[in-house]
Amino acid sequence: MSQVVLITGASSGIGKTSALLLAERGYIVYAGTRTPEKFDTNAENLHVIQLDITDSKSIRTAVKKIHKEQGRIDVLVNNAGYGLVSTVEDVTEEEMFNQFNVNVFGIFRVCKEVIPLMRENNSGVIINISSFLGKIGLPLLTFYNSSKYAVEGITDSLRYELRDFNIRVHSIMPGFFSTNFAKDNLVANVSTFDENSPYANLVSNLAPNIVEQINEGNDAGEAAELIVKMIEDEASLARETVGDKARQFIPMRRELSDEDFERRVREYYKLNG
């Protein structure tokens, strides 16, 4: 019997690539997106479904639809997210809330609806798409960083909470990937990017560097293959990295002291003034 997978944020990038790969591999895939009309596909086993993870009613409707059609959800991939680029000094209350509303509270909302179905079946896999920046801080990305640190905390705690119900919980920490993330999923605070900002030097140095690394990043197919592996291998680690930057920085983060690691990051991103 084919496993049923729900993926959030599936209209582009890692989400879309993973949805297509899983459907190709025989999974029954529900690709959740706020804009189903943008997901143009005739792939067998793939169902595009309206899903807004900031709206509990939208989530309940989607989950009920899947349950009615399939009777279960075996795998949840929490992929939806975006990055706010702002200093702490400049951020607005709305920007601050929206970042966590999508990247953190969205995961809670979807898990809240899906976990009961998995618990009743005494099986399931939840994969949270985090980021290598969930273990590493960078200026201008404080809110994105901290939201992904929260995703790591969610993963750790849920692993304990759901273990008795045979539900595996994992996170994947991608590096920079060559998707539309820089174009469609980075939101910039206007004041931070003002030419008269006291942070103008930092912005002019770091922001283009980050965008270039995203545009020249790894192929989303690497992350999709890891998702398949994580679903199929019950011995998968709690969290795994994918992509060059993640493979470079995460082991270094584990090995070095906080101060030594910070010096390495400052040198790499030319943050020494």
Could you report the per-residue pLDDT of 20-43, keeping only the tens digit for each?
Answer: 999 999 999 999 999 998 888 888
Q: What is the C-alpha separation between 73 and 67, in angstroms, rounded?
A: 7
Helix or strand or coil: residue 46?
strand
How far is CA 240 from its chain centroid? 13
Dihedral sign for Cα atoms in the order 215, 220, 222, 226: positive
Helix or strand or coil: residue 100?
helix
Domain 4-268: homologous superfamily in CATH:
NAD(P)-binding Rossmann-like Domain (3.40.50.720)
Active-site residues: which are they?
Answer: 11, 130, 144, 148
Q: Give the residue ranges of the chain where pLDDT is below 50.
A: none
Q: What is the C-alpha separation between 56 and 201, in angstroms, rounded?
A: 41
Dihedral sign for Cα atoms in the order 92, 96, 101, 103: positive
CB 17 within 8 A of CB 221: yes
Q: What is the C-alpha separation between 127 and 151, in angstroms, rounded?
A: 11
Dihedral sign for Cα atoms in the order 229, 232, 235, 237: positive
Q: What integer pLDDT is reported at residue 10 of this predicted model? A: 95
Tally of CA atoms within 13 A in the half-sphere of 6 that contains its CB = 35
Q: What integer pLDDT is reported at residue 176 of this predicted model? A: 80
Q: What is the C-alpha separation between 93 and 106, in angstroms, rounded?
A: 18
